Chain A
Amino acid sequence: MRRPPYEIVMKPYGTALVALARERSDIICLSGDLTRQTETDLFRDEIPDRFINVGMAEANMIGIAGGLARAGHTVFVNTFGVFCTRRCYDQVAMAVAYPNLDVKIVGFMPGLSSPGGPSHQAIDDIALMRALPNMMVVDLADATEISQAVRAVVERRGPVYLRLKRGEIPVVAEPSHRFSLAKAHVAKQGREACIVASGMMVPAALVAADVLEENGIATCVVNSPVIKPLDGATIVTAARGAGVVVTAENHSVIGGLGSAVSEALAEAGVGVPLRRIGVADVFAESGSREYLFDRYNLGVQNIVEAVWAAVAPKKPVPVAPAMPVTPGTYSPV
């Protein structure tokens, strides 16, 4: 995978969805008054007869999606992550997950990437969706993977929660990279420490691993976009023998990637210390991504320190290089 600063692309999801819907007439696109924000203005403009704006009524939107799916459609539900999980949890459970329908729920603006404060910050969406039987959970923030994931989640029968970064999407993986719903991706090898990351924390994990490597700690990075069902085998293999496993997620440390990895390691009997980088069971506040990721310890330096404290506690902690924010590019905090 590439290193920052990353090239940015706009609307990789919306573009891929339109392309797939041109092939598959069963696809219906629902929006909840957040059409441009969920990249589905492309669908609305290109395939208007299969686009429905349900308005600000998420409970109804999920139910409608269920009815359409029962009649044979594949339905994409698009809104912010908070509104398609927290706001209508019972509807997702009963109208989509329990009947195991082909509804793909796409939640934008993950974790602390929203400046909108706790009402807009999906810090618990993965935990909520992960708890539902039949529901697959995917966390992505890379244009290369997003472009491929749209087809992959349609080909996987049943409900999927697809959690996507909003707005400027970095190109992290090489064009030759093949996205998989079945296998986690070992983005970098290393035996002394293991970082498992998803979504917006993948770039930070890559930079942190480089910093650690330069300071003598061979560190592997597992990019695990699919949080449920977790590819425990790949993670266990990567973690076995390491001095520490650090999970990195733009989500509460409760119920998300960190929890899933802990369960996989414990059940496999891998007795490696584990540290979870994520939102520390608090509601955050308004602010820019840079401000919030720094304030709530979701930065490169936080990952470096978590690894360092476990494997080389007596030596001075390396300092990650500053990540200059240049217009038109993307870098982790």
Chain B
Amino acid sequence: MKNRARRRGKSPDDDRRGVAQASPSAPTSVGNLSKLATQIRLRAVHMVGIQGFGYLGQALSAAEIFASLYGGGLMRPGWDRFCLSPAHYAVVHYAAAAEVGRLDPEALKSYGANGTLLEAISTERTPLLDLTCGSLAQVISGAIGFALASRYAKDDRRVFAFLSDGEMEEGQTWEAAMFAAHHGLERLTVVIDANNSQVDGQVTSVTTLEPLADKWQAFGWRVSEVDGHDADALVAAMQSSGSERKPLVVIARTQILGRLKSVPMTADGHFLKLDPSLKQAIIEELEAQLA
């Protein structure tokens, strides 16, 4: 496949960045994607560990989604578009980009620090994103703009938009969902990290978004619902570009703490406090998975 071939092609940056682990040269192997997800989590723990608190839950939750997006041979860098809606997920973007050799791992140490380009909530300055916005639910509309632009240009770019579940409470999501289906934007793929977590607690305790699959289907989308911690299933779900002139939504069912046993279930997943002992416990659990 064209995109995989391009993924395997070595970029001039690869040597400089010293990519060692989970190289994008073997992006589709289930074992490797699963390992890539674990390495993404590990990176994120080290990044958030510097300040001792931050958006770690987002990385624990979405590690497999980012492993499949960045390492699953789905996206052709510089061609296909990647749009990160919940900017608080910047941490997992940085960690994943470093793991696949698109970002200098050394730079991760500056995550969230004053003056850094690797801001904790991604912005216009954030590297390697086509679109992001800290004010939630806006990015899906911009992704539609990209998909329309590809249609005007008659090219084959795909547009991937990563969304979180809580932001679907914003009405703009549904304005956009209606529009994309009406216009049959089959090159648009939305993947939702459905982890049932928002700032004030469980999404189900705040409002009722379910049944999510039925809602998107009713709005005219092709819907795929998968275990969001199964990178293989995610890649399979996102692989198919639409043929029936419908946009695709992949609802990735996840757990905000990434099913880690070392994190107490009572922890605040949205903004996790990471004291040295918890950090150590998580690192040990993740390293055991890699062993």
* Chain A residues proximal to chain B, CB less than 8 Å: 28, 50, 52, 54-55, 57, 59-73, 90-91, 94-95, 98-99
Judged by DSSP, the binding face of A is helix
Residues in B245-282 with C-beta less than 8 Å from chain A: none
15 A-B pairs (CB sep. < 8 Å): A50-B152, A57-B172, A57-B176, A59-B175, A60-B175, A60-B179, A64-B141, A64-B144, A65-B145, A67-B141, A67-B144, A67-B145, A67-B146, A68-B148, A70-B149
With A73-B149, A90-B135: A57-B179 Cβ-Cβ less than 8 Å: yes
A-B contact count (CB 8 A): 88
B124 proximity list for chain A (CB < 8 A): 98-99
**Any A CB within 8 A of the CB of B130:** yes
- How close is B169's CB to chain A, nearest CB, in angstroms? 14
Of the candidates B138, B146, B150, which one forms a contact with A91 in the assembled complex, judged by CB atoms under 8 Å apart? Answer: B138
With A63-B145, A67-B146: A94-B152 Cβ-Cβ less than 8 Å: no
B142 proximity list for chain A (CB < 8 A): 63-64, 66-67, 70, 95
B137 (CB) vs chain A CBs: closest residue: A59
A73 proximity list for chain B (CB < 8 A): 149, 152
In angstroms, Cα B131 to Cα A98, docked, is: 12
- Interface pair B148/A94, CB less than 8 Å apart: no
In angstroms, Cα B130 to Cα A99, docked, is: 12
- How close is B190's CB to chain A, nearest CB, in angstroms? 14
**Any A CB within 8 A of the CB of B140:** yes
Of A71, A91, A95, chain B has the most CB atoms within 10 Å of the CB of: A71
**Any A CB within 8 A of the CB of B75:** no
- How close is B179's CB to chain A, nearest CB, in angstroms? 6
With A52-B148, A59-B171, A72-B149: A67-B179 Cβ-Cβ less than 8 Å: no
- How close is A149's CB to chain B, nearest CB, in angstroms? 25
B145 (CB) vs chain A CBs: closest residue: A67
Of the candidates A66, A70, A91, which one forms a contact with B172 in the assembled complex, judged by CB atoms under 8 Å apart? Answer: A91
- Interface pair B141/A95, CB less than 8 Å apart: yes
- How close is A105's CB to chain B, nearest CB, in angstroms? 15
A63 proximity list for chain B (CB < 8 A): 138-142, 144-145, 172, 176
Of the candidates A52, A59, A72, A99, which one forms a contact with B141 in the assembled complex, judged by CB atoms under 8 Å apart? Answer: A59
Known: A57-B175, A67-B145, A67-B146. 19 other contacts (CB 8 A): A52-B183, A54-B179, A55-B179, A60-B144, A62-B141, A64-B141, A64-B145, A65-B145, A67-B143, A67-B148, A68-B146, A70-B130, A70-B131, A70-B145, A90-B135, A94-B133, A94-B135, A95-B138, A99-B124
- Interface pair B175/A67, CB less than 8 Å apart: no
- Interface pair B145/A66, CB less than 8 Å apart: yes
With A90-B135, A95-B141, A95-B142: A60-B148 Cβ-Cβ less than 8 Å: no
- Interface pair B130/A64, CB less than 8 Å apart: no
B149 proximity list for chain A (CB < 8 A): 67-68, 70-73
B146 proximity list for chain A (CB < 8 A): 67-68, 70-71
B179 proximity list for chain A (CB < 8 A): 54-55, 57, 60, 64
